[in-house]
Amino acid sequence: MSRTVFVLNGPNLDLLGKRQPEIYGQETLADVKALCSRVATEHGLTIDFRQSNREYELIDWIHEARERAAAIVVNPAGYSHTSVAILDALAAFDGPIIEVHISNIHKREAFRRHSYVSTVAAGVIAGCGTQGYALALQRVASLLEAKA
Ligand code: DHK
Q: What is the pLDDT of residues 53-91, one digit of tens each?
A: 999 999 999 999 999 999 999 999 999 999 999 999 999
Ligand 1, atom 8: closest residue by C-alpha: 77
Q: Predicted confidence band at 94 (pLDDT cuts at 50, 70, 90)? A: very high
Query: In this structure, how many other beta carbons lie within 10 angstroms of the beta carbon of residue 45?
Result: 21
Q: State the distance from the centre of ligand 1 to the C-alpha of 85, rounded, in angstroms.
A: 18
Q: Pairing relation of β-strands 4-9 and 46-51?
A: parallel
Quote the ligand 1 centre to 10 CA distance (angstroms): 9
The ligand 1 atom at the shortest distance from the C-alpha of residue 104 is 10
So which residues are the catalytic ones?
A: 24, 101
